Chain A
């Protein structure tokens, strides 16, 4: 049998395909002959871009209206799987909606989701998902042992998106089945939060703060430094859990995966949870009081010292240069 058909849950905003979807396409086209993307909304709006990145077909489940993607996309996918037209493999990005789609489909077709995947490898007739554990010191390869579609949730930035110059994808459709009560969530309004500077997962420089800041009132140090470096401000899970900054700031296994040119970790000890989200950065600078902190294990430049002394001086020096 082997892996002949891969489906990807495709995400896009206003006709622009999400980078995480293009990343999945780049990998999928090296594995399977047929790579198709399942989207909601107008498939023809994204067919050209998806085709350029290796998709042969784009299948739309139709417009969502004010519905959420999770129940609808998973219903359409399950319908195809149950009818015997499903893929060997379904890839979803680890995004807000990607998790909803993969999780709901998993329950519908009674198959597990292989999660937190950062690489995909072919093992005979099946695909394995590689998951980093213990701060990325070990890589665990996991395969689906059942029949039918293997479902993977793949972390963003695991692969590099690259166009192949392929022709526009052929447009097709998939039908959403009866949603029962699962369709009872509707989007009433959307709010974009004001943000200055680059996005956290796209910035060339990321400055992150951890528990070593000592309190929410000191997070301004991180924001000021990030601003001066024209970078984005991030945080460890500990800081988000403590309520100092919103969830959207979180870098790590749970939050955003970042791979900037420079990652500056201030007062972050380097728990597994955090390292997995930033160790792919090209250059890592860490400031921490504890010489034994695991963050120094991945740092290119490690400063053993008090961030409350080092960062203000750094800020002053950068201001003097400006």
Chain B
């Protein structure tokens, strides 16, 4: 990818549409994967990236947030949420062959879609709320030959450089990243805006460019079930923990806790 010339600021935000975490689905004993026949929604952890992207575009004064996402079906309801927040357009890679994709295959598909957008900056969450491998952001960066800064608490863009506060064990590092680059953002760092009624109406007409694998030049045999090079060998039930004591608070439950701690000689 060529470095950006100047304004406008085009930010790709990778988003995932996931089953509602309130209904986590179940393990399919046949295919040994998560069954997700429920309606998909925008992963809440992606809403921070969308908000961050919108703020950076606002700060630049010109540009657009472009969503990039993939699904095995042509689900768009989660994308519409992010479009209603203010994203300008979306690229949705939709192909049945994507079902069962591991993180690396996912990264390959996202990278191919992102390449077409020629962004100045790529924002992702640190990990999805349903798969949580947490490797896709750097896999995408590596496939696109881009620098990255993961676990960002903040991003500022000035000229051809993004300055990122990156979470560390003891605090944070200030990282400078030459653009274009990939930044993964932690949750809770910005306040994602609620879509306005106007935004929701406008989102219905925003362009969603739906592509299949052929359009991206990706061989279906390299993704999904066909392309996965990791296999589940065994699924076992973990030993159940012994049931503990349950106490209904009648105003003195704190004493029960104190007694428990006393028994352990903790206090």
- Which residue numbers of A lie inside 8 Å of B, CB to CB? 68, 70-71, 74, 94-96, 99-100, 102-104, 106-108, 110-116, 123, 128, 132-134, 136-146, 153, 180-193, 204-205, 229, 237, 240-248, 253-254, 261-262, 264, 271-273, 279, 283-285, 287, 291, 296-306, 309-311, 313-314, 317-318, 321
Contact = CB atoms under 8 A, between A and B. Distances in A.
Nearest to A248: B167
Contact of A143 (B150, B166, B231): B231
B266 A123 contact: no
B145 A180 contact: yes
A296 B257 CA distance: 15
A182 B171 contact: no
Interface in B168-184: 168-178, 181
Contacts of A318: 258, 267
Contacts of B122: none
B42 to A, nearest CB: 13
B13 interface: no
B246 interface: yes
Contacts of A285: 257, 260
B24 A303 contact: no
Contacts of A311: 254
B127 interface: yes
Nearest to B125: A254
B120 interface: no
24 contacts: A96-B166, A100-B148, A102-B135, A103-B134, A103-B135, A104-B141, A107-B107, A114-B230, A115-B132, A140-B32, A140-B234, A144-B229, A184-B177, A185-B176, A187-B175, A188-B173, A205-B266, A243-B189, A271-B21, A297-B243, A302-B246, A305-B253, A311-B254, A317-B254
A310 B237 contact: no
A191 B167 CA distance: 10
Given A185-B176, A186-B175, A146 B133 contact: no
B248 interface: yes
A74 B261 CA distance: 46
Given A103-B142, A181-B146, A188-B175, 20 more contacts: A71-B147, A106-B135, A128-B233, A132-B238, A134-B27, A138-B27, A139-B236, A141-B233, A185-B147, A187-B174, A189-B174, A191-B171, A247-B188, A284-B244, A285-B260, A297-B243, A299-B246, A302-B245, A302-B247, A303-B247
B233 A262 contact: no
Nearest to B179: A184
A96 B235 CA distance: 28
Contacts of A68: 149, 175
Nearest to A95: B169
Given A184-B181, A261-B264, A306-B249, A301 B257 contact: yes
Nearest to B164: A185
Contacts of A309: 249, 251
B104 interface: yes
Given A134-B24, A254-B127, A123 B236 contact: no
A81 B145 CA distance: 19
B237 A138 contact: yes
A299 to B, nearest CB: 5
B211 interface: no
Nearest to A191: B171
A285 to B, nearest CB: 6
Contact of A296 (B104, B240, B246): B246
B249 A303 contact: yes
A291 B248 CA distance: 9
B214 interface: no
A238 B256 CA distance: 28
B135 A191 contact: no
A264 B176 CA distance: 39
B232 interface: yes
Nearest to A318: B267
B226 interface: no
B99 interface: no
Counting chain A CB atoms within 10 Å of each CB, which of B132, B171, B253 scores highest? B253
B133 A116 contact: yes
A242 B188 contact: yes
A123 B153 CA distance: 41
B135 A310 contact: no
